[in-house]
Structure 1
Amino acid sequence: MDLEHEDFEESFGDEIQGIGFEGTDEMGIMDEEFIMPRRVPKRKITAVELIAAIREVLGDKRVKKRMKARDEPQPVIIPDNPDIKRLIDDVYKRIMKILYEQDMGAIRFSELVNRETGIVPVRIFICLLHLANDQKLRIKQRRMFEDIFISKA
């Protein structure tokens, strides 16, 4: 290790002194007080170039601020929760009315959702789960992601 360092110092000692490595000890470790620049400029920087670089950095910060403002979460508006019991009763009455009028044994969930305009499909599905749990209706799905069939209990 010492031989390599000595060989290196003999070969490049003058050049090292010229580019700012004065703050190293014999092992090549930097003194705490000395901070080596990240980049050694090869030419002098003009005021115009310096101002342009500063404007570029400030512009980047402004763009980042705008992007951060866009990424901030928007407030979520939570709609009023309707009375779930009333909603379950409404869905049950509509299903029974459809089954009675069309004299069908079962109705598809997709047909029920297509007929409904004011209720979100998820709410209808939750109501169906409650009705099936109360054993007022039967719901059946043959395979995953296929249509759900609703029939009388």
Structure 2
Amino acid sequence: QQNSYEEQDIIEKGGNYGWRRKEGSKCFDYQAPDNHPATCDEEGLIDPIIEYANCTAQPSGCKGISNTGGYVYRGANADWNGKYIFGDWSKSFASMDGQIFIGTEADDGTWSMEVANVANMDGKTPYILAFAQDAEGEVYALTSITTGPNGTLDTIYKIVPAN
């Protein structure tokens, strides 16, 4: 079980992202999943563009426990054009603490991520179930205040700039 890091990849046809040999950009030993060897066979493997610590195994500085892929923004806010909006289900199984992130590619091809400043969610961010994108390129977070879709406990939020 790979459980220490969450990752985002840019998918290439036929690409090998290291399952069972690597976890994120770290070498991985499936027989000792919490101990990452210093070296491994990395031949032909593609590292993620973004990775972060999983709160169950790496609580210090962690960002979540289950990565939720998103969309490249192509909406009306020109400052976000080309940024990758994604999230994490929650930082905890015990209570909702979803995360929304904005990934940005630098001129040199490296990526960074920042935690989005979320308004209008009345406290902690709900569990992040999925993301959606409309025909105009706007991105939406599909959320729940319980661990999964459940009647009227779910809400769809449009992701917009704070100003």
The TM-score bracket by the shorter chain reads under 0.3
> Who wins on radius of gyration, i.e. which is larger?
1
Q: Which has the higher strand share?
A: 2
Q: Which has the higher helix share?
A: 1
TM-score of the pair, normalised by structure 2: 0.19
TM-score of the pair, normalised by structure 1: 0.19
